[in-house]
Amino acid sequence: MEPRILVLDGNQRASLAAVRSLGEKGLWVAVGDSTDRCMAGLSRFCQRSITYPDPFESPRSFFEELLRQIEALKIFFVLPISEATTYVVLKYRQELPPHLTLPFPDADSMEQLADKNKLFKFADEHGIPIPETIFCNNVAEGLQALEKIHNYPVVLKPAKSRLLLPDRIFSTRVMTAQSAEQATSLLKQNDFFEFPYSIQSFIEGEGQGVFALFNQGEPVCYFSHRRLREKPPSGGVSVLSESAPLDDRLRESAEKLLRTANWHGVAMVEYRVSNDGIGYLMEVNPRFWGSLQLAVDSGIDFPWWLYLVSTGKSVPKVEYQYRRLRWILGDLDRLLIILKSPRNKYSIKSKLLELIRFFKPSFNTRHEVNRCRDFKPFVFELKQYLRALRG
């Protein structure tokens, strides 16, 4: 019987990239999401779409429906994409059928890197640079710690971006405080600071990342990209990016971290490189990233290779190519933000330049969602975008 794969979080762009990658290899791929229709579910490479309860609202109901679908569709390999579905599936991992392949390390390795408080302690013990850090368990500890801090800004960083509670998933946010007064206010106003978090010094510099695939503690491949345009323009989601050479120092740091943790699967290791060239560890995300399609287009086929190493098969030789990737609707959103901004933020001249850049043709750029051989996902995304504009 042919292996059957279920990709979760069908409205994520990374899910679409994974479905295209695996489906093009002739694998049978189903897509799941909490909505009736989803972007990846409309891909020509999707054989079946399923709907499950929203994991944010009812984690247990989501998992029970997932178990039912795994049995009904005879699923062999499950690939969660978002943090929410990943954390729920891993929480109840022992209840999964024994034949099912889940491309993640054991619970200890996962918790070691996914929990930022544990991550920073682990990294510091192994000589990997981290910002100056104070660990806190609740608001009271944070307020007490602020009395000893004299240099601002500081970063308030929850240990987890998603808190899995018995009846729901609670989202947190990393927040930057410019003063002791602002830090005090943020701690008191946000309930998630009653859970573990850290207070870190702010590192001036540039954000950089290393994307990796590991097989039982051994590196399989790495990838790096450069963000050319982001939404919002001040920094956020990449809307235009290009493949870039790996920074050897960051790769060595990521490799040391992931090897020591006996990592298995994909990981996005994020750094902030200071003006003096030191790469300070920011976080490790044990999942696929938004611009996954760029890596696939560049010859580093992470979804396919993850499937191969997780099923005991060898990975083909890397044929790396330089690529650019554009998320057209995200780029349009960015342009609209700039055009609507006041003149004291963007002058008429700068707005005109952004218009020219947006419409300037680039023959070396591929589009992330809209592809001629698989166009339905873009039609769906466009309809959702226009509906949001009208609403």
DSSP letters of 70-131? HHHHT--EEE--SHHHHHHHHHTGGGS-TT-B--S--HHHHHHHHSHHHHHHHHHHTT----
As to burial, measured by CB atoms within 10 angstroms (0-12 exposed, 13-18 middle, 19+ buried), residue 42 is buried
Q: Which two tokens stand for residue 52?
A: 């499950």
Q: Of 5, 205, 186, 8, give the one whose Cα is nearest residue 89.
A: 8
Average pLDDT over residues 250-270: 94
Average pLDDT over residues 180-204: 96
Which residues share a beta bridge with 223? 211
Instruction: Report d(CA 301, CA 316) in Å as an integer.
Output: 10
pLDDT digits 0-9 by tens, 126-172: 999 999 999 999 999 999 999 999 999 999 999 999 998 888 998 99
Question: Using CA of residue 76, residue 266, residue 133, residue 139, what is the dihedral sign?
Answer: negative
Is the Cβ–Cβ distance between 3 and 311 less than 8 Å? yes
pLDDT digits 0-9 by tens, 11-52: 999 999 999 999 999 999 999 999 999 999 999 999 999 999
Is the per-residue pLDDT at 348 higher than 90?
Answer: yes
Is the per-residue pLDDT at 103 higher than 70?
Answer: yes
Q: How many CB atoms are closer than 10 A to CB 198?
A: 23
In the chain, the percentage of residues whose pLDDT exceeds 70 is 100
Is the per-residue pLDDT at 389 higher than 90?
Answer: no
Average pLDDT over residues 191-212: 93
Average pLDDT over residues 68-78: 97
pLDDT band at 1 (very low <50, low <70, confident <90, very high): low
What mean pLDDT value characterizes the chain? 94
Q: Which two tokens stand for residue 275?
A: 């003006």
Q: Give 371's DSSP letter.
A: B
Average pLDDT over residues 42-69: 97
> What was the pLDDT predicted at 207?
85
Instruction: Report d(CA 357, CA 24) in Å as an integer.
Output: 33
pLDDT digits 0-9 by tens, 207-242: 888 999 999 999 999 999 988 999 999 778 899 999
pTM above 0.95, yes or no: no
Is the per-residue pLDDT at 247 higher than 70?
Answer: yes
Is the Cβ–Cβ distance between 337 and 238 less than 8 Å? no
Average pLDDT over residues 70-75: 97
Q: Of 32, 27, 66, 74, give the one whose Cα is nearest residue 49.
A: 32
pLDDT digits 0-9 by tens, 290-339: 889 999 999 999 999 999 999 999 998 878 899 999 999 999 999 999 99
Instruction: Report d(CA 359, CA 167) in Å as an integer.
Output: 47
Q: Which two tokens stand for residue 235?
A: 């920094």
Instruction: Enumerate domains of the chain plus CATH numbers.
Output: 4-102 (3.40.50.20), 132-201 (3.30.1490.20), 205-325 (3.30.470.20), 326-390 (no CATH)
Which residues share a beta bridge with 374? 371
